[in-house]
Structure 1
Amino acid sequence: MTPRSRTNQLLYQADLLLALPAGDDEHAAARRMAAEEGSLALVELALESMLREVTELANLERHDWRELLGPEGAGIAELHRLRELAARPDSWLCWLIGKLEALHGSDGVARRTSGAASGLIAVGSTASLGDELRWCLAEAKAEIAALRETSEEW
């Protein structure tokens, strides 16, 4: 399988996990959280696959996103573009990096939704992790398409 095919496969699988119904039994919240964190883990694998894809010609030894997107990463135009994107607080990549760091932490990233029984009044609306991840996936797919186009030009 090519890196491009693997990237596509992982993104597709992440979408599939997010589309799974959580159900309405006593395990629904845990099932939703598992699907969200599982999907996020697949997106991390897709990020590394995408980095392998866009740096294929550079023959890099490692493709860890922390290294390649960090300040000491290789001086490849596509990586520079992604580093700039990661530095923008409103970007999908900045959001993703924050969530991936939380995913690797001891608390994880998925949260139980608080119900009316909590006694608190919610002000405004916050998107669920699943909704935010869907947004991130859509933005990432558009960026990947642009990166692929740039890579093909070279």
Structure 2
Amino acid sequence: MTPRGRTNQLLYQAELLLEAPVGDDEHAVARRMAQEEGALATLGLALDATLRELTEHAALARHDWRELLGPQAEGVAELRRLRALREDPESWLAGLCQRLDALAGVDGVARRERSESLIVAADRIALGDELRGFLRAFKAELTALRETSFEW
């Protein structure tokens, strides 16, 4: 499989996880949480695959997003563009990276939903919806990044 094919495969798999029905049985909440965390982990793999794909011409030894999007990373144009996105706290990539860091923590990121009788903050977005937004933005950004990478 090509790096581009792997990136596409992982993005598709994350989308499938986010769109799969959870049902309404006693395991529905646990199933939803598993699907959300699974989709997030798959998005993390897709981010690594994207970095591998976009930096093929640079022949980098490693492709971990934490390294390549960090302050000491390579000066590849696509990486600089993604680094700027990650540094913008309002961007999809900053949100995705924050969620990926939390996923590696003891608490994870998926949460049980509060009872419908409780008041929920209007600005709070469900994790699944947030991940769908990250996925849409990821795919849109990837199209632009592929165009600049193809020029190499």
CA 1:23–1:145 in 2, change beyond 3 Å: closer, same or farther?
same
Deviating above 3 A after TM superposition, structure 1's stretches of 4 or more consecutive aligned residues are: none
Extract unaligned runs of 5+ from structure 1: none
Aligned length: 152
Whole-Å Cα distance in 1 between the matches of residues 116 and 135 of structure 2? Answer: 30
Whole-Å Cα distance in 2 between the matches of residues 63 and 123 of structure 1? Answer: 38
CA RMSD, 1 decimal: 1.0
Question: Displacement, 1:125?
Answer: 4.8
Aligned to 1:58: 58
Question: Displacement, 1:122?
Answer: 2.5
Structure 2 counterpart of 1:137, from 130, 135, 138? 135
1:88 aligns with 2:85: no
Describe the superposition over 1:68-96 as per-residue Cα deviations: whole angstroms up to 9, x where unpaired.
Answer: 00001111111001000101111110000
Whole-Å Cα distance in 2 between the matches of residues 78 and 123 of structure 1? Answer: 37
Whole-Å Cα distance in 1 between the matches of residues 120 and 48 of structure 2? Answer: 37
Whole-Å Cα distance in 1 between the matches of residues 41 and 121 of structure 2? Answer: 30
Q: Percent identity?
A: 63
Q: TM-score, normalised by structure 1?
A: 0.96
Whole-Å Cα distance in 1 between the matches of residues 138 and 4 of structure 2? Answer: 14
Whole-Å Cα distance in 2 between the matches of residues 67 and 73 of structure 1? Answer: 6
Extract unaligned runs of 5+ from structure 2: none
Aligned to 2:16: 16
CA 1:92–1:63 in 2, change beyond 3 Å: closer, same or farther?
same
Question: Displacement, 1:46?
Answer: 0.3
Matches within 5 A, 1:31-70: 31-70=31-70
Aligned to 1:6: 6
Aligned to 1:100: 100
Whole-Å Cα distance in 2 between the matches of residues 102 and 143 of structure 1? Answer: 23
